[in-house]
Structure formats: structure tokens, C-alpha cells
Amino acid sequence: MATDFPLAPAWQVDQWLNSNRPLDLAALRGRVVVLHAFQMLCPGCVSHGVPQAERVHRLFAADGVAVVGLHAVFEHHAAMTPLSLAAFLYEYRITHPIGVDMHEASDPVPLTMRAYALQGTPSIMLIDRQGRLRLREFGRIDDLTLGRKVMRLAAEVAPSLALSKSDSPSQGECSEDRCEVAGDSLADPST
Amino acid sequence: MATDFPLAPAWQVDQWLNSNRPLDLAALRGRVVVLHAFQMLCPGCVSHGVPQAERVHRLFAADGVAVVGLHAVFEHHAAMTPLSLAAFLYEYRITHPIGVDMHEASDPVPLTMRAYALQGTPSIMLIDRQGRLRLREFGRIDDLTLGRKVMRLAAEVAPSLALSKSDSPSQGECSEDRCEVAGDSLADPST
Amino acid sequence: MATDFPLAPAWQVDQWLNSNRPLDLAALRGRVVVLHAFQMLCPGCVSHGVPQAERVHRLFAADGVAVVGLHAVFEHHAAMTPLSLAAFLYEYRITHPIGVDMHEASDPVPLTMRAYALQGTPSIMLIDRQGRLRLREFGRIDDLTLGRKVMRLAAEVAPSLALSKSDSPSQGECSEDRCEVAGDSLADPST
Amino acid sequence: MATDFPLAPAWQVDQWLNSNRPLDLAALRGRVVVLHAFQMLCPGCVSHGVPQAERVHRLFAADGVAVVGLHAVFEHHAAMTPLSLAAFLYEYRITHPIGVDMHEASDPVPLTMRAYALQGTPSIMLIDRQGRLRLREFGRIDDLTLGRKVMRLAAEVAPSLALSKSDSPSQGECSEDRCEVAGDSLADPST
């Protein structure tokens, strides 16, 4: 069954922002990875894709989900340098790790963008706990749909954990929701 | 473990709209239920809660999630009759089942609203596949958060299914995502 | 030049809300009147037209602009009674005067809506200080456009001041607005 | 009466984009000028100020209104070069003229921004047909309010027409705008 989905291509990144060490898929194995490709001067990325990714980063951290941005510049290269990108991230208060997609020779399209065969920006990719590419979508995706898709992958058990896990896989993670339903404030209709 | 969460109180409903038969929690056992309480003249319900519930209804149907609205009128009773409600549902193109919460004697607050101890409208409740109340929240909840919470419950196995289920619980449901990542259109960087 | 625009038809109203006396165009002569037609269960009215009218009411009061709502019910009549309308206005914090458009015999379309030959709701009409209908538009109009149109009329001098004014500067610019009021489709109340 | 409002300070601009010739206030005398100051990496400018200015440009052109943007970079200077700005304008489809505010010596705040004593970006200034500064506002201004203010100035007659006009009717109403331009905090470039 694991062969149904291709492994996500490796990332080829010049430098990382919002991270004090390089990131790669091997190190993130066991986690769900939300990878989004953007350009700092792409209007749909600025208004939708980038802030949405930041919200996912903040909301799903406790679910074993890692959010990674890929600055995939394929136009206006001189206008979107890492220096400008750093100012952009600062001003928009983006805190999740961002990798600068690497260029080779004279190809305007960077290497990771090519490896994922992206049509443009914004694009979003979902990579499961086994490192397999499960979704690749160009354009806007609404929050409800994204929340559903990310959580579905987050609810899958990692291969190494699956053996020792009993019958109720996501139960242990629900402590947060439990807090929201305070037992004593709930009217018990049976009493 | 099942005792940690209270069972969701029964619904006491005068009549149903968008459903040709009465609904109750027993009949929905095994499904995740998203129950939202609203009033047709509550601005936050009209602009946020009701259309959000309709989106959940359309998006999560394939995940074993049932969305049910509760018209919980606790003010302006004569202004929000079932007749007016029916016109509201028609004009706003709401297709999920709506129950009219029942009043008793002179109490302005209807019975189901009392049973769930709701503070007001809009409120949203999540009931798991075992019929337990897992979330009860008054006010607005954003789409990303709701998508995450609903999917987390949808990913839990139902008690009766848990025994016969092997190690990869949500795998079988992912046919939709699989379609989105067409294997042959994906550039394989290793070839 | 005053003959270029038809006089706005009289209003035929059953009852007024948010006003302790009946309103009519004669009493408002000398002021610019923003008249908007709506139904309390019309989604575009609730999300856009009605709150926009309320903003105009609050913003342009000092400019000699009067905002008047017309509850022009042409469908779901039993669902949108004055009693329900009053609750709606209360919940949505609408403070400008609202007239309930009058029905005659078995015609589902009310009288004032007929007199203005409205296509539906929401519709917005602008009436100048001389009582002439200068704009009649069905559907949404954006805030910037509406602010421009209302202020242009507000900047025109009232008839009593017009004697010393040779050529009203903004008059000639109104050809655009004129196009929006198709002369032959407009019922002329004087004939 | 003309002395009540200060003349708008001259613009000191390095280069112009979206214009094949330099612009200055003298050449625009007789028109209403909407001047907005922005930075291409200022979130409030990108989401609100800049697209709003473009809408005003398109909507009010026939009313004798000129919209001019001022790229007033006071932070992240190396990240917001004219080269990056040009790509920004292209991607966001901004068509109105943009001047790059000039820097002097080591002052991080550019010259025109100093001359107008701006607090930050976005800021919007309204200059009347006589070249006087009538509004200077820092932060967001909503579309309805802006449409009203711009049209009020557009309805004022130009100086050459003003001779036959006794008392400009909308002049007296501008006390509100005056409050928004604190006289003593405004640098007067003529002294």
C-alpha cells in the first residue's frame, strides 16, 4: 500500500530563514509536513497562502505537523532576493521555517520547484509521516478543506508506532479538546 | 476511557426541516455529529455559523460526519417562527437538517438549549462516533480550527469497528486525496 | 435642465419603523435622499445593502443626506411581517427610518416597488435636493462608488440657492448616472 | 479663506514609475490630488492602502482627481529598492504614478515624508484644486469615507472659476478635515 504514493522529492535549498539549522525530509520523517511554495511578490501568496501556512504552523504544532515554506522564485529574480525576503518575513510576522529554493545555471525555475513539477505559486503539498507526497495543489485552498486534509494525515499512525498502538489511536492526543468541555460546567441531563 | 466524556444530551425538537424524518442521536451513533445552535435573526449566526455549518455538511459527508442545525430561539419568539425559518433556509440555500428546539411552558429558553447549557447563539458542539460530547463552544470558531477538530474525531474508529481494523485506520478513506496526486503527472526526481 | 431627470415617485408605506412620524419626499425636499429597497431575508441585502445604508446614514448626516429604507417584500410575505422586521432591525442595530412598502389586492409586488420599477432587492436610489431621481441601481454597489455618488449630489446647491448659480459644475458630469436610470422603464407618477 | 489651509509641501522624488515624466504639484494645480504614502513591504499598505488608491485612480479620473503614490521607505531600505518596487507594481497591477521618495545623507526618513510630517505608512493626503493640504491621515480609512472626502473636494470649483462664486458652499463644512491636519505639527516648506 505504501507504494501507491510517491516519496516526496528532496529539497534543494540555498539558505534557511526562521531556522537555525537546515531542514530536510529525512529529519522530519514521522511528522506530517505541510510544504508551501510562494513568492514574496505574488499577490495570492501574500494575501492567502503565506498567512494560511502560518496559521497551520501555529494550530497544528501539537499534532506532529511541521510547516515549511519554500521561496520558489521563478520571475523577477533580482526583486526577490533573500535580503528582501527576510524583511518580508519580519514585516508579516512569519515564524515558520522558510527555505530559499536553489537555482541552477540559467534556468529561471528553481530546482525544488522543478522536482515537484509545480505549476506556479502559491502551491501547497502535504507529505505524510512516511515521507510520501499525498497532495499537491496549485492555487488557493480554503481553510476548512486544508484543516480536514492536514488532520486526516496527522491522524494516521506512523509506521514505527503502529505496532505498539492499541485500538484507539488519536485518543491520547485529545487532551486539548477535553479541556474545552469542562465536566462540571456541562449540564448532565441524566441527573 | 469512554467515561471521560459525557454522553450528548438527547434532542427535543418540535419539527424538522430539510429532513423527511426525525433525527436523533441514537440513529446517528457511529457517525461524528456536528451540532450547531443558531437563531435566524442572530447576525453572527447568519454571517458565520450557519454558512460554515453548511460548508462542513458538504465537505465532510464522505467522512462519516453528520451536520445538524438546532434553531434555538430564546428571544423574539414571534419573529422567528418555523414559517419564517423555512423561508430563511430557502433563501440562504441551507440544505442540512434543521430541528426546531422545543419550548416548555413559559421558559423562553428551549429545552435542548437548556440540556446542553448553551450560553447563546451561535454555538457549536462536536459529538463523537460513540455519542459523547467532545466540544461545546459559544461564539465564532474559525474554519481551520473547526476542520482540524472535526477531522480528528472523524479519524477515530468507531468502537464496533476498532477490533477488526488493522494498523492503518484512515488509509481506506483517502481515495479522494489519492486522486489529487495523480502518480503519472508527478515528476519523479529519481528517474 | 431640471426636466432631464424625472421626479422620484411618492412612497406608499403601511408603517414606519425607527421614525416617530411618517416620512415623505415633500418633507425631505432640499436634502439628498438615499433610498434603499430590501427584504429582511434577502442574503445580499443582509450582508451588503442594509449595513451599507446604515453606514451612509451615520457618515453623511452632516451633509444634508437622509437615508431611508423600504422593506419591499415581494416573496415569502408571511415570513417577513413587520413584527419579524422589527426584530431584525433591533438585532442588526439598524437606526435609520424604514418604511414597510404597501401591498394592494393580490399583487405580490408592493406599490412603491412597482412605482420605481425595481427589478429586485437590494436596490438603491439617489434622489437629489430637488426631488429628482438621479440613480436607480439593482444589486451591489461598492462603498467607494456610492460615497462618490452621494457626495456629488450633496455638493449640489439646493433650489433656493441655485438662482445665483449659473452653471452647476457637477451637473454636466451626471450623464453616467442618467444612463443607469432608463427613462422609459421608469413609471412617471405625474402621468 | 485660502490661508486657512497650508499649501501642500513640494515632492522630492528620485524617480517616477508608471509615468513617463516627473510630476509636481504645480502641474497638477486645478485638480484634486490624492497622495498616498506607502512601503511595498508594509502589510497594511499592500492589503488596503495601495489597492484602495488604485480604485480611486480608476473611479475618479473623470472628476478631475489625480492619484499619486509616494514610496516612502523609512525602514528595510535595502529590501525595498526601486527595482523591487517595479516588480511589486507589476504584480499588483498598479497603474497610477508612483514617485520614489528621496533620501538625504543618513536620515532613514525620506525628504517628502519629513516635509509632510507623516507618522508612518500607509498615510493618505488630500490636496485641493488650489494646492492646499486638506487632509492628512495615518492608517486605514474606509472606502465610504474616502469616497465622500474626495468627491467633496472634487465638487469645489477651481480657482479660475471661483471669481464668480460668492461663498463656496462646501468650504464651511470642512472643519472636520481641518482637525485631522494639525497645523503646528505640519512642516511648512516655505519657511
Angstrom distance (rounded) from CA A133 to CA A131:
7
A166 against C32, higher pLDDT: C32
Q: Which three cell numbers stand for residue A40?
A: 514574496
Partners of residue C125 on adjacent β-strands: C35, C136
- Per the CB < 8 A criterion, the answer to whether B33 and B25 are in contact is yes
Q: Name subunits touching D (3+ CB pairs < 8 A).
A: A, C
Q: Give contacts of B47 with chain C, Cβ < 8 Å.
A: 47
Distance from the C91 Cα atom to the nearest Cα atom in chain B, whole angstroms: 7
Question: What pLDDT score does A4 carry?
Answer: 83
Give the CA-trace dihedral at A8, A10, A15, A17, to 10 degrees. 20
Is the pLDDT assigned to residue C169 strictly greater than 90? no
C-D C-beta contacts closer than 8 Å: 72
Q: Which three cell numbers stand for residue C6?
A: 424625472
Residue D4: pLDDT band (50, 70, 90) is: confident
The answer as to whether D162 is a domain residue is yes
Question: What pLDDT score does C148 carry?
Answer: 98
Partners of residue A126 on adjacent β-strands: A34, A135
In this complex, the residue of A41, A84, A86 whose CB is nearest that of residue D91 is A41
Distance from the C128 Cα atom to the nearest Cα atom in chain D, whole angstroms: 15
Which pairing describes strands B32-38 and B65-71: parallel, antiparallel, or unpaired? parallel
Q: Is B89 on the interface with C (CB under 8 A)?
A: no
In this complex, the residue of C56, C155, C164 whose CB is nearest that of residue D155 is C155
B60 against D4, higher pLDDT: B60
DSSP chain C: -GGGSPBPPPP-EEEEES-SS---HHHHTTSEEEEEEE-TT-HHIIIIIHHHHHHHHHHSGGGTEEEEEEE---S-GGGS-HHHHHHHHHHTT--S-EEEEPP-TT-SS-HHHHHTT--SSSEEEEE-TTSBEEEEEES---HHHHHHHHHHHHTSPPGGGGGG-SS-TTGGGGHHHHHHS-GGGS--TT-
How much of chain B is in helix, strand and coil states, percent to nearest 5? 40, 20, 40
Interface contact D41-A80, CB threshold 8 A: no
Question: What pLDDT score does B157 carry?
Answer: 80
Residue partners of D54: CB distance under 8 A and separation at least 6: D67, D93, D94, D95, D96
pTM: 0.84
Question: What pLDDT score does A159 carry?
Answer: 61
Q: Is D77 on the interface with A (CB under 8 A)?
A: no
Q: Give contacts of B183 with chain A, Cβ < 8 Å.
A: 4-6
Helices (H), D67-174: 82-91, 111-115, 143-154, 159-162
DSSP B16-78: EES-SS---HHHHTTSEEEEEEE-TT-HHIIIIIHHHHHHHHHHSGGGTEEEEEEE---S-GG
In this complex, the residue of D42, D86, D90 whose CB is nearest that of residue A91 is D42
**pLDDT tens digits for range D64-111:** 999 999 999 999 999 999 999 999 999 999 999 999 999 999 999 999
> Which one-letter amino acid corresponds to residue B83?
L
Q: Is A6 on the interface with B (CB under 8 A)?
A: yes
The answer as to whether B77 is a domain residue is yes
Q: Give contacts of C43 with chain B, Cβ < 8 Å.
A: 91-92
The answer as to whether C94 is a domain residue is yes
**pLDDT tens digits for range D117-139:** 999 999 999 999 999 999 999 99
The answer as to whether C118 is a domain residue is yes
Q: Is B91 on the interface with C (CB under 8 A)?
A: yes
Neighbouring CB atoms inside 10 A of B166's CB total: 8
b/e C128-156 (16+ beta carbons within 10 angstroms → b) = bbbbbbbbbbeeebebbbbbbbbbbbbbb
**pLDDT tens digits for range C38-86:** 999 999 999 999 999 999 999 999 999 999 999 999 999 999 999 999 9
- Per the CB < 8 A criterion, the answer to whether C11 and C46 are in contact is no
Is the pLDDT assigned to residue D170 strictly greater than 70? no
b/e B74-109 (16+ beta carbons within 10 angstroms → b) = bbbeebbbeebbbbbbebbebebbbbbbebeeeeee
Q: Which three cell numbers stand for residue B101?
A: 428546539
The answer as to whether D191 is a domain residue is no
- Per the CB < 8 A criterion, the answer to whether D165 and C161 are in contact is no
In this complex, the residue of C41, C86, C91 whose CB is nearest that of residue B87 is C41
Is the pLDDT assigned to residue D174 strictly greater than 60? no
Distance of CA A141 to the CA centre of its chain: 13
Interface contact A76-D92, CB threshold 8 A: no
- Closest residue in C to D171 (Cα–Cα): C155
Of D10, D28, D21, D26, give the one whose Cα is nearest residue D113. D10
Q: Which three cell numbers stand for residue B64?
A: 462519516
Question: What pLDDT score does A184 carry?
Answer: 31
Q: Mean pLDDT in runs of 10 for chain A (191 residues)?
A: 81 98 97 98 98 98 97 98 98 98 96 98 98 98 98 84 40 29 31 31
Q: Which CATH number fits the domain that encloses residue B32?
A: 3.40.30.10
Q: Is B115 on the interface with C (CB under 8 A)?
A: no
Angstrom distance (rounded) from CA C81 to CA C72:
11
Question: What pLDDT score does A123 carry?
Answer: 98
Helices (H), A40-188: 43-44, 50-59, 82-91, 111-115, 143-154, 159-162, 175-180
- Overall number of domains in chain D: 1
Taking the alpha carbons of D22, D26, D31, D34 in that order, is the dihedral positive or negative?
A: positive
D12 DSSP 8-state letter: -
Stated length of chain D? 191
Range of the domain at D63: 2-185
Which pairing describes strands C65-71 and C32-38: parallel, antiparallel, or unpaired? parallel
The answer as to whether B98 is a domain residue is yes
Question: What pLDDT score does B181 carry?
Answer: 26
Residue partners of C168: CB distance under 8 A and separation at least 6: C156, C157, C162
Question: What pLDDT score does B4 carry?
Answer: 83
Question: What pLDDT score does C157 carry?
Answer: 80
- Per the CB < 8 A criterion, the answer to whether C90 and C44 are in contact is no
Distance from the A150 Cα atom to the nearest Cα atom in chain B, whole angstroms: 7
Is the pLDDT assigned to residue C156 strictly greater than 50? yes
Question: What pLDDT score does D160 carry?
Answer: 55
Q: Give contacts of A84 with chain D, Cβ < 8 Å.
A: 41, 79-80, 84
Of C170, C84, C165, C160, give the one whose Cα is nearest residue C129. C160
- Per the CB < 8 A criterion, the answer to whether A23 and A99 are in contact is yes
Share of chain D above pLDDT 90, in %: 79
B183 DSSP 8-state letter: G
Interface test with B, best of C17, C40, C41 (most B CBs within 10 A): C41
**pLDDT tens digits for range D16-41:** 999 999 999 999 999 999 999 999 99
- Per the CB < 8 A criterion, the answer to whether C116 and C190 are in contact is no
Q: Which three cell numbers stand for residue D134?
A: 486638506
Q: Which three cell numbers stand for residue D37?
A: 504614502
Interface test with B, best of A144, A174, A180 (most B CBs within 10 A): A144
Distance from the C144 Cα atom to the nearest Cα atom in chain D, whole angstroms: 5
Is the pLDDT assigned to residue D183 strictly greater than 90? no
Three-state DSSP class for residue D104: coil
Residue C4: pLDDT band (50, 70, 90) is: confident
Interface contact B169-A157, CB threshold 8 A: yes
The answer as to whether D101 is a domain residue is yes
Q: Share the mean pLDDT of chain A.
A: 86
191 residues of chain B, pLDDT tens digit each: 445 899 999 999 999 999 999 999 999 999 999 999 999 999 999 999 999 999 999 999 999 999 999 999 999 999 999 999 999 999 999 999 999 999 999 999 999 999 999 999 999 999 999 999 999 999 999 999 999 999 999 999 866 554 443 333 333 232 333 222 222 333 333 33
C61-C91-B57 Cα angle (round to 5): 125
Angstrom distance (rounded) from CA D11 to CA D19:
15
Which pairing describes strands C123-127 and C133-138: parallel, antiparallel, or unpaired? antiparallel
Is the pLDDT assigned to residue D176 strictly greater than 70? no
* Mean predicted confidence (pLDDT) in D171-180: 28
The answer as to whether A162 is a domain residue is yes
Question: What pLDDT score does C110 carry?
Answer: 98
Q: Give contacts of B188 with chain A, Cβ < 8 Å.
A: 6, 9
- Per the CB < 8 A criterion, the answer to whether C128 and C156 are in contact is yes
Q: Name subunits touching C (3+ CB pairs < 8 A).
A: B, D
Partners of residue B126 on adjacent β-strands: B34, B135
